């Protein structure tokens, strides 16, 4: 999230003083050339990009494996704004009270401290980032911002409890159908086998491998309300235009009141005391040199997406990519978006560094190799090492050796949580190559420890 906030700060500097753009201002040839270049340089499998105002799409293009603006993508946490919109519709109808304890609507979720509907919307409930339904509890972050998917999954349950229909049906009837979003779906499993769904890619050691996302299950850490809505660039453009039109569709139907949208965007909580960015009701907000910026990113295991709205400029921008590469492509796309917006402003983009992607993954692969080689060394040493230590020092040797062989495996299974706050089961889905290295190295290290311990115990 912090990376995305920095990306927005940088990207939007290019258009702070730009006038409202028209299609003929885009220097489309240069724009298209640049996007083609980054698709190649950053090894992007497939991408869709669009810029829209309140009336129509000003520029759109697909690249690589994506060949249509009607290709479906999982939009990740951009789904949260849909869930927040649905909750606020129910608030307008008097069916949900933002200040009410969630147990009012979900009797099975009653806690010692009050958890309001608003605290779920603003991520101030005290629930942990990676918490699941099976282990939901309040932590010491209660009352402070901590991004947690479970907040929005619980909001999805509230929508179902209050409306009397499931989340998928509610979103379809109250958002998709009024907006004409015929290719969007709020049930991830129903997208399986849909030829319009663009299969995503995960990165292994610098190479993208096509494969399905981890479709949400009962014990998953997020579901459709938090991050698994499927939509198309064409459909999502309609959704963003609705916001630019103050909650009204192109047919003149009102989805939500303008004042409700304002409350979603501007009544929020700070991400941290040191950041001038805020979160409220499914959207991030910042004021950049007097320019109001509304934004949110999203990712699933095999895809990423970004969107932002400039209400005062009557503009919304979005791109969807059918790949996820946490340390490589994802970070490079920050620079790509900066340069894309420079082109929109009429400036020449900075030269694309075609070596960046290779350098990043070469460095990562070198680290992975060191971890693997060290674990292999442990195993080989245990196999070749002859007995050591006299019987007098046998107990001491056993203890010291086992401690040595236990420390490295323990480090392998805990370092992602300790240093990055990410448990290993999340690494498995989002950084699969690192997970493979950890598991193989763990097997080698543990096997080495067992062999060493056996030799010491039986004095072989």
Which residue's structure tokens are 């999982």?
Answer: 74
Query: How far is Cα 262 from Cα 253, in angstroms, rounded to an integer?
Result: 18
Tokens linked to 11 = 């990207």
| CB 351, CB 21: distance < 8 Å | no
Query: How far is Cα 20 from Cα 392, in angstroms, rounded to an integer?
Result: 84
Q: Which residues pair with residue 303 across a beta bridge? A: 300
Tokens linked to 360 = 């990043």
The crossing angle, in degrees rounded to 10, of helices 356-384 and 329-345 is 170
Task: Calculate the alpha carbon distances from 86 to 58, 148, 156, 178 in Å.
Answer: 28, 19, 9, 13
pLDDT in tens, 110-150: 999 999 999 999 999 999 999 999 889 999 999 999 999 99
Residue 294 φ/ψ, nearest 5 degrees:
-115, 130
Query: How far is Cα 151 from Cα 144, in angstroms, rounded to an integer?
Result: 13
Count CB atoms within 10 A of the CB of residue 327. 15
Domain boundaries of the chain, sorted by first residue: 2-345, 356-458
* The predicted structure's pLDDT at residue 228: 97
Which residue stretches of the chain have pLDDT < 50?
1-24
Count CB atoms within 10 A of the CB of residue 446. 18
* The predicted structure's pLDDT at residue 388: 54
What do you get for the CA distance between the two ends of the chain, in Å? 54
Task: Calculate the alpha carbon distances from 460 to 81, 378, 383, 395, 405 in Å.
Answer: 64, 18, 11, 14, 18
Query: How far is Cα 73 from Cα 197, in angstroms, rounded to an integer?
Result: 6
Q: Parallel, antiparallel, or unpaired for β 315-321 and 230-231? A: unpaired
Query: How far is Cα 6 from Cα 8, in angstroms, rounded to an integer?
Result: 5
* The predicted structure's pLDDT at residue 7: 45
Residues 145-149: contacts with CB within 8 Å, 24+ apart?
Answer: 145/269, 145/270, 145/271, 145/272, 145/279, 147/1, 147/123, 147/279, 148/123, 149/77, 149/221, 149/222, 149/226, 149/227
Size of the chain in residues: 460
Task: Calculate the alpha carbon distances from 412 to 124, 367, 403, 422, 434 in Å.
Answer: 32, 13, 15, 13, 10
Query: How far is Cα 146 from Cα 163, in angstroms, rounded to an integer?
Result: 28
Class of domain 2-345: alpha beta
Query: How far is Cα 136 from Cα 159, in angstroms, rounded to an integer?
Result: 19
SS3 helix, strand, coil % of the chain, rounded to 5?
50, 15, 35
């Amino acid at each position: 999230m912090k990376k995305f906030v920095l990306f927005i700060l940088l990207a939007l500097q290019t258009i702070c003083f730009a006038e409202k753009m028209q299609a003929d201002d885009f220097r489309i040839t240069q724009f298209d050339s640049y996007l083609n270049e980054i698709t190649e340089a950053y090894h992007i499998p497939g991408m869709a990009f669009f810029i829209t105002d309140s009336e129509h799409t000003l520029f759109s293009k697909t690249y690589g494996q994506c060949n249509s603006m009607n290709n479906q993508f999982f939009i990740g946490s951009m789904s949260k704004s849909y869930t927040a919109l649905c909750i606020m519709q129910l608030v307008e109808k008097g069916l949900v009270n933002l200040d009410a304890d969630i147990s009012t609507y979900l009797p099975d979720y009653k806690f010692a401290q009050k958890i309001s509907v608003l605290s779920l919307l603003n991520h101030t409930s005290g629930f942990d980032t990676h918490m699941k339904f099976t282990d939901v509890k309040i932590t010491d972050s209660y009352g402070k911002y901590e991004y947690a998917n479970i907040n929005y999954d619980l909001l999805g349950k509230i929508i179902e409890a209050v409306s009397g229909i499931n989340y998928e049906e509610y979103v379809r009837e109250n958002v998709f159908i009024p907006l004409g979003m015929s290719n969007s779906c709020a049930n991830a499993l129903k997208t399986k086998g849909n030829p319009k769904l663009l299969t995503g890619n995960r990165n292994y050691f610098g190479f993208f491998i096509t494969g399905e996302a981890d479709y949400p299950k009962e014990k998953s850490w997020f579901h459709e309300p938090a991050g698994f809505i499927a939509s198309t660039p064409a459909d999502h453009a309609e959704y963003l235009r609705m916001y630019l039109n103050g909650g009204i569709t192109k047919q003149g139907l009102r989805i939500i009141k303008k004042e409700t949208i304002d409350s979603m965007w501007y009544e929020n909580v700070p991400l941290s005391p040191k950041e001038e960015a805020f979160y409220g009701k499914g959207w991030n907000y910042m004021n950049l040199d007097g320019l109001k910026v509304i934004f949110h990113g999203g990712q699933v295991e095999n895809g990423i997406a970004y969107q932002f709205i400039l209400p005062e400029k009557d503009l919304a921008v979005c791109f969807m990519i059918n790949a996820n590469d946490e340390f490589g492509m994802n970070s490079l796309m920050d620079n790509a978006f900066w340069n894309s917006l420079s082109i929109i402003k009429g400036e020449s983009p900075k030269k694309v560094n075609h070596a960046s992607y290779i350098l990043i993954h070469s460095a990562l692969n070198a680290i992975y190799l060191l971890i693997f080689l060290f674990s292999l060394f442990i195993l080989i040493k245990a196999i070749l090492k002859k007995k050591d230590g006299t019987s007098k020092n046998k107990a001491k040797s056993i203890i010291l050796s086992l401690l040595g062989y236990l420390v490295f495996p323990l480090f392998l299974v805990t370092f992602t949580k300790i240093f990055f706050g990410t448990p290993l089961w999340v690494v498995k889905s989002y950084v699969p190559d690192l997970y493979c290295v950890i598991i193989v190295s763990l097997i080698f290290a543990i096997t080495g420890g067992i062999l060493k311990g056996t030799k010491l115990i039986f004095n072989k």
